[in-house]
Structure 1
Amino acid sequence: MNTRFFLLTLCVLVVVFFTNTASTPPARTLDVYWVDVEGGAATLLVTPAGESVLIDTGNPGGRDAQRIYQVATEVAGLKQIDHLIVTHFHIDHYGGAAELAKKMPIKRIYDKGIPQTLREDAEFASRIAPYRQIQAERITLKPGTQIKLKALPKRVAKLALWCLGLDQKFADKADPQANTANCDAATDKPVDTSDNANSTVFMMEFGSFRFFDGGDLTWNVEKTLVCPDNLPGEVDVFQVNHHGLDQSNNPVLVKALLPTVAVINNGTRKGCGPDTFTALQNTPSIQAIYQLHKNLREDGATINTQPEKIANMEENCAANYVKLSVEADGEKYTLSIPATKHQQVFTTKK
């Protein structure tokens, strides 16, 4: 009797073990989607906990909000945007927010504080009004602000997303890396007085993986970010500043970041400038450059990455997105263009 009871108990335990093992879902990846908003910006992050962070929202007019909504709901399976970040107050970055808010809930909005006026935009007061009226919790960013994200399981790498700086002020780093050699050769351009220069800069870490999003930060301020000390440090993936325009992407910044992958959220005739492209090509650490669009300007023949790394080849395009997936341990990541079935795997630096 005792033997039969023991065997029965053992069978039950085996069944329970395998049932629990089979029902345990695999650890999710950290996913980043660069949504095609035709030379604006809309970068959607989805954490392994299923939490969403949208950095910028493209232009008003319906198209960009609809594209973000489709990627968020149909591809990423989201029902809401948990955190919306606006890097600065140019309409190609905040313009789609109000329209997106009518399509799906936005829980929290982070920005650097809405100004009353903008010297480069005479219509700013009327243009910003719909963004002001979005019903959501509002958080004003400061250098060093960390976005509070849901905790992840122990078997998943640690995740952190924080504001490195804004309005040309940056958070101090405990152990900054001296950048003397690069800084000595750095040059300046005429001072940029637009809100581009005041862009919010974000860093994300997932285990050893690091991602940099500098909004539309411009040349001289990029220099202060890495000179005399390299505050960001090296990264794996660099969202190329300001859509790849030559007002930005100071080589001293690119050399300080030493990215493995660069992603340009350009349009058919906006961004992907010749100087920027040269700076990327001349950075030995960069193994791959991705573009949301083929550059169709007259100079485009020589200023494009490999065709397989361009999401949209034609002017009237299907709005294909570029996707980044980082493995749960943070040690490998994949860049892909799902519409064309292209993908390439990379290993994080550390």
Structure 2
Amino acid sequence: MSGRLWSGVVAVLLVVAPLDSAGMLEIYFIDVEGGQATLIATPGGETMLVDAGYAGRGMFQSKAGDLRDARDAQRIAATARDAGVKRIDYLLVTHFHQDHDGGVPELAQLIPIGTFIDHGTIPEEAEKTVAGALEAFAAYSAVRGRGRHLEPRPGDRLPLKGVDAVVVSSGGATIARSLPAAGEPNRRCSPSELAAAESVENPRSTGLLLQFGRFRFLDLGDLTGRPLYNLVCPSNHIGPVDVYLVAHHGGRDAADSATLTAFRPRAAILNNGAVKGGDPEMFTLLRSVPTTEVWQLHRAERRDAANFPDDQIANLDESTAHGIKVTAYRDGSFLVRNARTGLVRSFPAR
């Protein structure tokens, strides 16, 4: 794997957004093979990483060890170098599963981390649904203890410069009041939520609505079950967003039509892996919304996969580690770039 994950010739569709480098928000969706690692560089000069992928060679059973084998930490560090990032000011760990917190101990040896943000602790019963979760949390917690720690509640704002970052879910709770420009009844609500495939930690995910001017980005981690339902039913507490990182890697338990009706994303990003996430139910739902353009970190390899066009897929197999980058502007316009092809799609201000 090349360390230069974002190089390549750029092909541009439509009209490129304003070239104001001092006033843009950059979001890097890093390939960690079906985990999450999302690097955010704000116009205020600060950085936040949401999750850090797996430990070691990238499996749930992997443990931190030789940094040469730290697949995801090395990919994150390479992306940070390409972005000119020398420090992670804030690390938000959405929840305590190994595909989200596993890479933290190794990453902390590669790049300084200032403040850790999470929902605090992990219930002991989490081990029954995901083996190794408690051990991974202990390793993460040891690193967290060496820095500043924030434990925000729904409705709290994170102290990120240049953007408005509102926590919309955490620890199983969600915001009680609708955000501005939201609150309308959601006619697509079912009588009850889709059941969460993993019922302990995923529904406790810390979700974030990040706004820069008129641009809005939503990242809910692996939020599923009742908390995901509560964000959009019976009323839409979030409102329309420009970019939505699809919950739970595009798993079937996040494929509730009420969410897309509420969020109405112009671009949806799937941080799926070749054999993880990107379930057929989610593909079917996303295809039912013609106003949403879908981008995948990986082509899904299952037989019943209905992948989107290759131009919108960063990795066609597991031999590469390309990412997807969003560059957003204050007026609400933004670009989506596929690092594999160099293709750039421009979205004008609404």
Query: What TM bracket, shorter-length normalisation?
Result: 0.7 to 0.9
**For 1:174 and 1:33, how far apart are their aligned partners in 2?**
25
Q: CA deviation at 1:167?
A: 2.6
Kept after mapping to 2: 8 A contact 1:222/1:250:
no
> Which amino acid in structure 1 is aligned with residue 297 of structure 2?
L
**How far, CA to CA, are the matches of 1:146 and 1:136 in structure 2?**
20
Deviation of 1:201 after TM superposition, in Å, equals 1.1
Q: Does 1:291 align with 2:300?
A: no
Q: Which moved more, 1:100-109 or 1:26-35?
A: 26-35
> Aligned residue for 1:114?
121
Q: How does 1:94-109 map to 2 (within 5 A)?
A: 94-109=101-116
Equivalent pair of 2:186/2:258 in contact (CA under 8 Å): no
The aligned counterpart of 2:79 is: 71
Any idea what the Cα deviations from partners look like across 1:91-146, whole Å, max 9, x if unmatched?
10111011100111100000000225224245333222221111211111211121
Q: 1:265 and 1:56, CA in 2 relative to 1: closer, same or farther beyond 3 A? A: same
State the match for 1:233 in structure 2: 239
Query: How many Å separate the matches in 2 of 1:84 and 1:343?
Result: 28
Q: Tell me how far 1:59 sits from its aligned partner.
A: 0.4
Query: Match of 2:16?
Result: none
1:166 matched to 2:166? The reply is no
Partner residue in 1 for 2:253: 247
Q: Does 1:46 align with 2:41?
A: yes
> Does residue 309 of structure 2 align to residue 306 of structure 1?
yes
Counterpart residue type for residue 232 of structure 2? V
Secondary structure of the equivalent of 1:83?
strand
Which of 282, 287, 292 is the aligned partner of 2:288? 282
- Compute the displacement of 1:29 (Å): 1.7
Q: CA RMSD in A?
A: 1.8
Q: What is the aligned partner in structure 2 of residue 123 from structure 1?
A: 132
CA drift at 1:344: 0.4
SS of 1:41 mapped into structure 2: coil
- Closer/same/farther in 2, CA of residues 43 and 219 from structure 1, 3 Å limit: same
Alpha-carbon distance in structure 1 between the residues aligned to 2:138 and 2:192:
39
Distance (Å, rounded) in 2 between the aligned partners of 1:90 and 1:123: 8
1:241-260 deviations in Å (ceiling 9; x for gaps): 10111021311111110111
Q: Does 2:141 correspond to 1:138?
A: no
Partner of 1:84: 91
Please list the CA deviations of residues 139-191 of structure 1 after superposition, one character each: whole Å capped at 9, or x if unmatched: 112111211123x5xxxxxx2112112233222236642324222x4554346
Residues in 1 aligned to 2:139 and 2:169: alpha-carbon distance in whole angstroms:
26
Q: 1:344 to 1:76 in 2, by over 3 A?
A: same
The aligned counterpart of 1:178 is 184
User: 1:113 touches 1:141 (CA, 8 Å); kept in 2?
Assistant: no
The equivalent of 1:343 in structure 2 is: 344
Query: Counterpart of 2:300 in structure 1: which amino acid?
Result: N
Partner Cα distance (1:186, 1:106) in 2: 43
1:330 aligns with 331
* Stretches of structure 2 lacking an aligned partner (at least 5 in a row): 1-19, 57-69
- How far is the alpha carbon of 1:222 from its aligned partner? 1.9
Identify which of 301, 314, 320 aligns with 2:322. 320
- State how far apart, in whole Å, the 1-side matches of 2:179 and 2:85 are: 37
Using a 3 Å threshold, how does the CA distance of structure 1 residues 77 and 230 change in structure 2: closer, same or farther?
Answer: same
Larger of the two Rg values belongs to structure? 1
Structure number with the higher helix fraction is 1
**CA 1:129–1:260 in structure 2 vs 1: closer, same or farther (change >3 Å)?**
same
C-alpha spacing 1:174/1:121, structure 2 compared with 1 (3 Å): closer
Distance 1:272 1:198, change over 3 A: same
Counterpart code for 1:104: I
Contact 1:222 1:249 in 2 (8 A): no
Given that 2:194 and 2:254 are in contact with CA atoms closer than 8 Å, whether structure 1 keeps it comes out as: no
Count of residue correspondences: 311
Structure 1 residues 173 and 269, CA gap change in structure 2 (3 angstroms):
same
Instruction: Give SS of 2:307's match.
Output: coil
Q: Matches of 1:123 and 1:149 in 2, distance apart?
A: 32
Structure-1 separation of matches of 2:191 and 2:286: 16
Question: Matched residues in 1 for 2:227 and 2:141: separation?
Answer: 28
Runs (4+) of structure 1 moved beyond 3 Å? 121-125, 185-192
Mapped pair 1:259 → 2:265:
yes
- Residue 149 of structure 2: SS of its match in structure 1? strand
The one of 25, 34, 47 equivalent to 2:29 is 34
8 Å CA contact retained: 1:179, 1:256? no
**CA distance in structure 1 between the aligned counterparts of 2:83 and 2:340, rounded to whole angstroms:** 15
The equivalent residue for 1:189 is 194
Cα deviation digits, residues 222-268 of structure 1 (max 9, x gap):
22111111111111111011011102131111111011110000000
Q: CA deviation at 1:50?
A: 2.5
